């Protein structure tokens, strides 16, 4: 019989049932979305000229990604920009967040500056990035990094500050050094709270990429989508948007897997 405050780890059969139920629920949600899309067109609420049926968008997506398709060459540049910017956001956000959360005097000095800059969106600073970095790749990396940085930075600060004082005091009472407390107590306790911020940063990296690529980018899904709109190739435009959404889902799924792997030791345990 499990002790109080400890919940048994979910069995493989229960985990399978839970995953199957989630899959069915997601499938129902997507089916409802697609059905609503068709209904809006059939009912004349939206003209097919402006919103093609889902099957036409999927067809444009498949054709665009096939060898010789006009969308194919835009995928890798977008992935490179989002991953580089996201990676820089993780490195800067986690490092700076740990420093601010751990060193109280540093937090008091820099807090008002952070509160000011967190109000400025990446798009608001886009002209500044263009001024400093030009129309080339550095400006694209800068705007994606800025967008991904803030959720990671803020959750890291909160995670480090949120470590229970009782844990730290217990380590100090046993003569643990500051370095030991930081590496063996604070960091392990902070990681599960930092990971959701990293997931959110990944979503922001994909979202802001579209706007970044619409100015001066020779290739990328953002400029592809804008070009399709300007040339009135509407199914291709929606195909680009669909692909961006799918890439965002893929990134989020990979981050969820990484989060489960890194926090697997916590599964099934709750505080009583």
Query: Rounded mean pLDDT of 185-189?
Result: 83
Output the average pLDDT for the chain: 84
The total domain count for the chain is 2
Range of the domain at 34: 20-51
Q: Are 206 and 222 in contact (CB under 8 A)?
A: no
**Domain CATH number, residue 197:** 1.10.3720.10
Which residues, 6 or more positions from 10, have their beta carbon under 8 angstroms from its beta carbon? 18, 267, 268
* Domain annotation covers residue 117: yes
- Verify that 44 and 164 share a domain, yes or no: no
Whole-number Å distance between alpha carbons of 4 and 7: 8
Check whether 186 has a pLDDT greater than 90.
Answer: no
Confidence of residue 4 (pLDDT cuts 50, 70, 90): very low
Higher pLDDT, 271 or 237: 237
Output b/e per residue, 245-255; b: 16+ Cβ within 10 A: eebbeebeeeb
- Verify that 46 and 164 share a domain, yes or no: no
* Domain annotation covers residue 210: yes
What DSSP assignment string belongs to 127-190? HHHHHHHTTSHHHHHHHHHHHHHHHHHHHHHHHHHTS-HHHHHHHHHTT--HHHHIIIIIHHHH
- Verify that 43 and 167 share a domain, yes or no: no
- Verify that 96 and 33 share a domain, yes or no: no
- Verify that 91 and 75 share a domain, yes or no: yes
- Verify that 45 and 58 share a domain, yes or no: no
- The confidence score (pLDDT) of residue 18 equals 52
- Verify that 40 and 129 share a domain, yes or no: no
Check whether 269 has a pLDDT greater than 60.
Answer: no
- Verify that 135 and 243 share a domain, yes or no: yes
pLDDT tens sequence across 156-166: 999 998 887 77
- The confidence score (pLDDT) of residue 144 equals 93
pLDDT tens sequence across 23-51: 777 788 888 888 998 999 898 888 888 89
Confidence of residue 141 (pLDDT cuts 50, 70, 90): very high
Q: Considering the chain, what percentage of its residues have pLDDT values greater than 90?
A: 28
**CA 50 to mean position of chain CA atoms:** 29
pLDDT tens sequence across 222-262: 889 989 999 999 999 999 999 998 988 888 888 888 878 87
- Verify that 56 and 103 share a domain, yes or no: yes
* Domain annotation covers residue 180: yes
Confidence of residue 69 (pLDDT cuts 50, 70, 90): confident
- Verify that 56 and 76 share a domain, yes or no: yes
């Amino acid at each position: 019989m499990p002790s109080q405050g400890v919940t048994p780890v979910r069995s493989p059969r229960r985990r399978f049932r839970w995953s199957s139920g989630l899959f069915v629920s997601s499938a129902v949600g997507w089916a409802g979305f697609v059905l609503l899309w068709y209904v809006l067109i059939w009912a004349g609420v939206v003209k097919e000229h402006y919103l093609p049926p889902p099957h036409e968008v999927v067809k444009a997506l498949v054709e665009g990604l096939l060898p010789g398709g006009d969308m194919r060459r835009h995928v890798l540049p977008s992935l490179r920009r989002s991953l580089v910017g996201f990676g820089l956001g993780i490195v800067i956000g986690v490092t700076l967040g740990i420093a601010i959360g751990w060193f109280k005097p540093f937090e008091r000095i820099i807090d008002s500056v952070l509160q000011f800059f967190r109000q400025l969106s990446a798009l608001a600073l886009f002209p500044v990035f263009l001024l400093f970095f030009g129309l080339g790749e550095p400006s694209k990396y800068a705007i994606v990094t800025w967008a991904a940085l803030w959720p990671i930075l803020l959750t890291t600060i909160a995670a480090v500050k949120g470590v229970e004082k009782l844990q730290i005091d217990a380590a100090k009472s046993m003569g643990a050094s500051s370095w030991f407390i930081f590496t063996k107590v604070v960091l392990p306790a902070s990681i599960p709270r930092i990971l959701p911020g990293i997931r959110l940063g990944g979503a922001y990296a994909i979202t802001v990429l579209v706007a970044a690529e619409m100015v001066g980018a020779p290739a990328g899904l953002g400029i592809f989508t804008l070009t399709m709109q300007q040339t009135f190739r509407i199914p291709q435009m929606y195909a680009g948007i669909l692909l961006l959404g799918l890439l965002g889902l893929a990134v989020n799924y990979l981050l969820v897997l990484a989060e489960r792997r890194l926090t697997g030791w916590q599964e099934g345990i709750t505080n009583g």
